[in-house]
Amino acid sequence: MITADDCRWPQGQYGLPTRNGKLKEVDRFDVAFFNLHSKQAHNMDPQLRLLLEVTYESICNAGINPIKLKGTKTDVFIGANGSDAQNVFSSDPQTFEDYRPSSYTVDTACSSSLLALDCALNALRNDSCHAAIVGGVNLCFRSQTSVQFLKLHMLSNDGTCRAFDSNGTGYVRSETIATIFIQKRQDAKRLYA
């Protein structure tokens, strides 16, 4: 949801647009459910904690019991950029314990998640995996990234995206944490596309 508030940094800091898309309650996490120590969870990148939650949800949404994935050829493809911890998003042992023979974190800036999906689809087509967890993570905690985008004239002055519109002045930075669980049609319990 695009809002104007001080949730991530003070409004107008460094001349940044006041509106951006932010996820709510990124500090909340059920440590007991995921069998983690509270200190460990506290020290985890918030993107990794949220990725753990939405990965569990996407597996369940696919009609799969997450426990049954252990030992299967389920690869993990995560699109991420701008995080010091991005290399562990796809390979954190607590997050994807025994799920996969292969894991990949893809960083191609704004197209990271799309490329992660392309890599996963190719892996399925080539039979190098039987299923894949595909995700994307982006939380905007550091104003420095937005400052760089502002200097490059990439950000919308009024906090409104107007793609392909002559009145557009840029885009609005927004946050997301999302995953999907994909399989070949004959293996899937639920089909959405």
CATH number of the domain that 151 lies in?
A: 3.40.47.10
Is residue 4 in a domain? Answer: no
Tokens of 60: 């369940």
Could you tell me the pLDDT band of residue 83, with boundaries at 50, 70 and 90? low
Residue 103 pLDDT > 60, yes or no? yes
In this predicted structure, what is the pLDDT of residue 81?
Answer: 83
In this predicted structure, what is the pLDDT of residue 73?
Answer: 92
The domain in which residue 157 lies consists of 19-184
Is residue 10 in a domain? Answer: no
How many distinct structural domains can be found in the chain? 1
The more confidently predicted of residues 114 and 141 is 114
Range ranked top by mean pLDDT from 25-29, 109-113, 157-161, 179-183: 179-183
The pairs formed by 148-157 with CB atoms below 8 angstroms and a separation of 24 or more are: 149/173, 150/14, 150/15, 150/16, 150/17, 155/16, 155/17, 156/17, 156/19, 157/17
Q: Which neighbouring-strand residues pair with 174?
A: 21
Rounded Cα distance, 48 and 50, in Å: 5
Could you tell me the pLDDT band of residue 159, with boundaries at 50, 70 and 90? confident
Is residue 1 in a domain? Answer: no
Is residue 82 in a domain? Answer: yes
Rounded Cα distance, 11 and 22, in Å: 13
Is residue 94 in a domain? Answer: yes
In this predicted structure, what is the pLDDT of residue 99?
Answer: 54
Is residue 167 in a domain? Answer: yes
pTM, to two decimals: 0.86
Helix (H) or strand (E) holding 150: helix 143-151
Is residue 13 in a domain? Answer: no
